[in-house]
């Protein structure tokens, strides 16, 4: 007699716990008001199959944009219209585990979105950014979008040139150049939730792990939830210092380019070329 292999409780899965904790912490920080923000987390089949029969498809959703590069890959993603505040207490309706089908034209919902909801409206930006980051780093797994307050504020006060914006952030806290030596990519203002903004975001993700959407928020990419959260936290902290200062004429001294260069050398990181003048 063949007995079905007992699956473990999905709510105990580390990746579900990480999604619940991250969304709650992001909400508490004030960066994900209402339904703001979204996260997608690339999972291995071995991880998912401990908890789910991966052949049990609950729903098939067509993608407006094909992602052949992600064929047969699994993700846990936040739901469209869902509030980060509520994910911790209501994971089955606010999160979903999806698998991209073999053609890259559809996704299969394997778990979650039980109230009939769908993956985040920013799925184009997430999927296209995953494709871009996986080409740079095979260990890449997380794309996180949120409305980090001071980063948004800074997009009104600072010019939006990538090199000068990055250099200001690097100057605000000593750790910045070490955490994001690859600089911050910046898009022009665009309508969110579209394939067009997804493509532009992914283009920036080829060279940057942080991509700024002016007057809207930020996208971060990384290998773990902690690392990605920490990346955005670090940029947001620097932006907070900038907004606290408020008026650049108040700045009496800053970290010089020579000092930033010394920091990069001490921590063995390569700052993006064209930002420091040594
Ligand atoms: O609705 O943050 O960019 C979630 C968003 C859209
Ligand atoms: Zn947003």
pTM equals 0.97
Express each pLDDT in 53-87 by its tens digit: 999 999 999 999 999 999 999 999 999 999 999 99
Mean pLDDT score across all residues of the chain: 97
For the CA of 80, the nearest atom of ligand 1: 1
Residues 6 or more apart whose CB falls under 8 angstroms from that of 65 comprise 124, 127, 128, 195, 198
Could you tell me the distance, in angstroms and rounded to a whole number, from the CA of residue 71 to the centre of ligand 2? 26
Checking if the pLDDT of 191 tops 90, the result is yes
Measured from the alpha carbon of residue 216, the closest ligand is 2
The structural domains of the chain, ordered by start, are 8-120 (3.40.225.10), 122-278 (3.40.225.10)
Report the alpha-carbon distance of residue 24 to residue 89 in Å, rounded.
10
Report angle CA 152, 87, 64 to the nearest 5 degrees: 70
Ligand number nearest CA of 192 is 1
Candidate from 81, 143, 217, 219 with most ligand 1 atoms within 8 A of CB, to mutate: 217
pLDDT in tens, 150-184: 999 999 999 999 999 999 999 999 999 999 999 99
Q: Which residue has the higher pLDDT, 142 or 4?
A: 142
112 pLDDT higher than 90: yes
Q: How confident is the model at residue 5 (pLDDT cuts 50, 70, 90)?
A: confident
User: Which helix H or strand E contains 42, and what residues bound it?
Assistant: strand 38-43
pLDDT tens by residue, 220-276 = 999 999 999 999 999 999 999 999 999 889 999 999 999 999 999 999 999 999 999
The answer, yes or no, to whether any atom of ligand 1 lies below 6 A from the CB of 121, is: yes
Angstrom distance (rounded) from CA 18 to CA 119: 18
Pocket test of ligand 1: the residue of 37, 85, 151 to mutate, having most ligand atoms within 8 Å of its CB, is: 37
């Amino acid at each position: 007699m063949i007995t079905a292999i007992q699956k473990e409780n999905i709510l105990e899965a580390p990746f579900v716990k990480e999604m619940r904790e991250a969304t709650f912490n992001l909400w508490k920080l004030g960066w994900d008001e209402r339904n703001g923000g979204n996260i997608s987390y690339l999972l291995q089949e071995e991880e998912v199959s401990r908890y789910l029969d991966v052949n049990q498809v609950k729903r098939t959703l067509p993608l407006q944009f094909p992602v052949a590069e992600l064929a047969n890959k699994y993700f846990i993603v936040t739901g469209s219209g869902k509030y980060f505040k509520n994910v911790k207490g209501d994971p089955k309706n606010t999160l979903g585990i999806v698998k991209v089908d073999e053609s890259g034209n559809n996704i299969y919902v394997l778990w979650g979105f039980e109230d009939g909801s769908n993956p985040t409206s920013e799925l184009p930006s997430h999927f296209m950014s995953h494709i871009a980051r996986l080409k740079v780093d095979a260990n890449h797994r997380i794309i996180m979008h949120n409305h980090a307050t001071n980063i948004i504020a800074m997009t009104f006060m600072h010019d939006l040139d990538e090199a000068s914006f990055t250099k200001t952030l690097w100057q605000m806290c000593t750790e910045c150049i070490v955490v994001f030596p690859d600089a911050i990519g910046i898009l022009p203002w665009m309508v969110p939730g579209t394939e067009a903004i997804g493509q532009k975001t992914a283009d920036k993700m080829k060279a940057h792990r942080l991509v700024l959407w002016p007057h809207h928020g930020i996208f971060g990419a990384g290998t773990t939830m902690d690392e990605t959260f920490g990346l955005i936290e670090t940029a947001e902290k620097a932006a907070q210092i900038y907004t606290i200062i408020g008026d650049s004429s108040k700045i009496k001294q800053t970290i010089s380019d020579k000092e930033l260069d010394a920091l990069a050398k001490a921590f063995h990181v390569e700052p993006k070329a064209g930002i420091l003048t040594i």
